[in-house]
């Protein structure tokens, strides 16, 4: 088959292990949320990606102009919402989609997790959460004088028991008809005297139209990889094993989002567990949510099979950490690869130190295909 690069519209916590890998320094176990909140035992399991949908959300602003979607001055306005976790649950991480007219900066628990703008397509954001309560704050910007202003967001929170809940921007959010005060995104700022946000419209009924869902993750920075440099032209009919171990000693990993595609088939593993399978049929990449990463060291492994012609594997992995930071991992020449499928290769304890590095295919010889994943 001809390799197809893909542009996609949008759609953990266990005991540590003694790991034999090619890394020169291994992390100590580190602390997960369950270490300091006893009832936060993580029983969530990986699953097919669930999008946060904007069609349930609302456009909000400050109400400076009492007419919904009326003209507003050039300004930056703060919007905040403190979401408390139900007593029987523990929050792990969140998938967020946000759109704005004209721009926004999004914060979670005081950490800036993304900036963007535009009302035609939303922006996808991912973040780890605190177990008990989380502060979501947005600096919304109106950059055009005498024009409508608004922000719309949907927040999908994943809990440690495997359930999830959806929260939206609505009239319960707090706001000011003034520029954001210093450190407005921090929990230390008291917003109890702030006004409630004013409704500007709904997804189904507003002058902005209906924003489309964004890509789950970009593949533009990822490389097609295989075990030979000519796999983009022709490769043996066989299965190949690939591994990438993330050894992040200074942070605590919580969740990951994985976007993956292979020519012709793949089985994805994370820390030894089988996550999902996919094939070249339909030219559709697959997305997964991994809510149970190990605190400091995580292994992503793939068994990829070529049936005929060219062969390749491409993936993007987005990891969120407990401190609010994140890391993007792409398929590239740093992945380990071998021409066999050794027993137990998917396990974190497997030693891949004698494996070669993966070969990166030549992008110029591939076709680019737009693949809808928005409603999978």
Domain ranges of the chain: 4-47+216-370, 52-202
- In this chain, the answer to whether the domains covering 4-47+216-370 and 52-202 adopt an identical fold is yes
Exposed, middle or buried, 375 (CB in 10 Å: 0-12/13-18/19+)? exposed
349 φψ region: left (φ > 0), alpha (ψ -120 to 50), beta (else): alpha
Exposed, middle or buried, 343 (CB in 10 Å: 0-12/13-18/19+)? exposed
Task: Quote the pLDDT of residue 11.
Answer: 42
Task: Quote the pLDDT of residue 26.
Answer: 60
Beta bridge mates, 267: 277, 303
Task: Quote the pLDDT of residue 236.
Answer: 94
Backbone angles phi, psi at 133, to 5 degrees: -155, 155
- Residue 204 CB coordination number (10 Å): 8
Task: Quote the pLDDT of residue 175.
Answer: 98
CB distance 57 to 100 below 8 Å:
no
Task: Quote the pLDDT of residue 36.
Answer: 57
User: What CA–CA distances, in Å, run from 129 to 9, 94, 156, 157, 215?
Assistant: 25, 7, 11, 9, 22
Average pLDDT along the chain, 376 residues, taken 10 residues at a time = 43 35 52 67 93 95 96 98 95 97 98 97 96 97 97 98 97 98 97 98 94 89 92 93 94 95 94 94 86 96 95 95 96 97 97 97 49 37
What is the rounded CA–CA span in Å between residue 262 and residue 142?
Answer: 42
Identify the CATH number of the domain defined by range 4-47+216-370.
2.60.120.260
What is the rounded CA–CA span in Å between residue 109 and residue 95?
Answer: 15
Return the CATH class of domain 52-202.
mainly beta
What is the rounded CA–CA span in Å between residue 336 and residue 332?
Answer: 9
Query: Is the link from the previous residue into 102 a cis peptide, with omega within 30 of 0?
Result: yes
């Amino acid at each position: 088959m001809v390799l197809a690069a893909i542009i996609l519209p949008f759609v953990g916590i266990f005991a540590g292990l003694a790991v034999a890998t090619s890394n020169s320094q291994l992390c100590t176990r580190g602390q997960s949320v369950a270490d300091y909140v006893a009832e936060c035992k993580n029983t969530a399991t990986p699953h097919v990606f669930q999008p946060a949908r904007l069609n349930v959300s609302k456009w909000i602003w400050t109400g400076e102009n009492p007419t919904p979607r009326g003209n507003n001055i050039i300004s930056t306005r703060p919007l905040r919402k403190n979401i408390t976790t139900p007593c029987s649950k523990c929050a792990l991480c969140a998938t967020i989609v946000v759109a704005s007219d004209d721009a926004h900066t999004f914060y979670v628990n005081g950490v800036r997790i993304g900036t963007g703008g535009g009302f035609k397509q939303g922006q996808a954001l991912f973040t780890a959460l605190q177990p008990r309560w989380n502060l979501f704050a947005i600096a919304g910007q109106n950059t055009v004088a005498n024009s409508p202003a608004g922000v719309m967001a949907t927040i999908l929170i994943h809990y440690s028991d495997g359930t999830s809940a959806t929260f939206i921007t609505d009239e319960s959010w707090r706001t000011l008809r003034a520029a954001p005060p210093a450190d407005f995104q921090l929990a230390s700022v008291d917003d109890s005297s702030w006004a409630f946000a004013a409704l500007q419209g709904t997804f189904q009924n507003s002058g902005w139209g209906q924003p489309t869902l964004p890509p789950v993750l970009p593949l533009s920075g990822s490389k097609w990889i295989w075990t030979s440099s000519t796999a983009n032209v022709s490769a043996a009919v066989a299965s190949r094993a690939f591994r990438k171990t993330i050894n992040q000693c200074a942070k605590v990993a919580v969740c990951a989002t994985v976007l993956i595609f292979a020519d012709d088939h793949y089985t994805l593993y994370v820390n030894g567990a089988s996550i999902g399978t996919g094939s070249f049929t339909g030219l559709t990449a697959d997305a997964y949510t991994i809510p149970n990463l190990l605190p400091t060291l995580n292994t992503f492994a793939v068994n990829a099979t070529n049936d005929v012609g060219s062969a390749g594997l491409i993936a993007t992995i987005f990891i969120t950490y407990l401190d609010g930071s994140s890391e993007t991992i792409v398929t590239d020449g740093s992945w380990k690869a071998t021409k066999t499928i050794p027993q137990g290769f998917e396990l974190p304890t497997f030693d891949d130190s004698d494996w070669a590095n993966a070969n990166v295919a030549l992008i110029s010889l591939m076709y680019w295909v737009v693949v809808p994943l928005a409603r999978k």
